[in-house]
Amino acid sequence: MKYSLSKKIRTAAVVSGLLCAALITQQARAQSTGDDPISGIHAGDVLVRLRAISIMPDVRTSNTLSALKVGVNNAIVPELDFTYMIRDDLGVELILGTSRHQLTSSLGNLGGVNVLPPTLLLQYHFNHAGRIRPYVGAGLNYTLFYNNGLSAGGESIGINNHSFGPALQAGVDVQVTRKLFVNADIKKIWMHTDATLGGAPIGRLNIDPLIVGLGVGMKF
């Protein structure tokens, strides 16, 4: 079943809101008992996060791809990211992860392709000295498409291997111990590829996923 982007965003917002509410309650209880670990981040800190992410493509197509009603399935995969704090409230984050997606159409399953989208983001961290630290980010995504197994009518579907596009991010870190924190994160990434069949162009595939993640992190 396909969902609209607005429904995806509402779902992600509800999930993130519930998580944050639960974490804030937990932290308030910890503070009331005097168990308040050292908190905050500062220039020179390195933050490493491991998340489970849900990748939800917002597919748009053109030409023959539109006529065939081509779609891209969701995927749930791990994601690793590294943030270096260049100032107390300003960090640079590199996001790493890969996923494989199946393409569907009115002709049936067209096969799968792997996606490797390293993304570099400049982040602003609110309340950097606190235990609950929201952040926003913006940056550039580079996508590599590989292990292309797409075909239709007995012929291979060719695609461009590379894509560049913008990326936006919002999230929150909540400190649990001196080094450990939990994280909720949502990103929007723009990526696309042009497809050919038998050497003839058949349209552009815009994937543009919304990515929702939950995970843990360590501060070094």
For 172-187, how does the pLDDT look when each residue is reduced to its tens digit (9 = 90+)? 999 999 999 999 999 9
pLDDT range class, residue 9, cuts 50, 70, 90? low
The Cα 53–Cα 162 span in angstroms is 22
Please give the Cα distance from 80 to 52 (Å, whole number). 9
Of the options 3.30.2320.20, 3.30.70.100, 3.30.70.120, 2.40.160.20, the CATH number for the domain spanning 5-219: 2.40.160.20
Using 50, 70 and 90 to split pLDDT, how confident is the model at 7?
A: low
With cut-offs at 50, 70 and 90, classify the pLDDT of residue 14: low
Domain residue ranges in the chain? 5-219
Please state, as a whole number, how many other Cβ atoms lie within 10 Å of the Cβ of residue 7: 11
pLDDT at site 3: 44
User: Mean pLDDT over residues 119-148, rounded?
Assistant: 96
pTM score of the predicted model = 0.80
Question: Would the pLDDT of 20 be above 90?
Answer: no
Chain segment 39-72, per-residue pLDDT in tens: 799 999 999 999 999 999 999 999 999 999 999 9
Residue 4: which pLDDT band, with cuts at 50, 70 and 90? low
Cα 100 to its chain centre, rounded Å, is 14
pLDDT over 90, % of the chain: 79
First and final CA of the chain: distance in angstroms?
42
Q: What is the pLDDT of residue 153?
A: 83
Residue 142 has pLDDT above 50, yes or no: yes
Identify the weakest region by mean pLDDT among 21-25, 65-69, 136-140, 143-147. 21-25
Residues 162, 164, 170: CA angle, nearest 5 degrees: 130
Average pLDDT, the chain: 88
DSSP string over 137-166: EEEEEEEEEES---EETTEEEEE-SEEEEE
Q: In what order do the strands lie in the sheet with 151-152?
A: 60-61, 200-206, 192-197, 155-159, 151-152
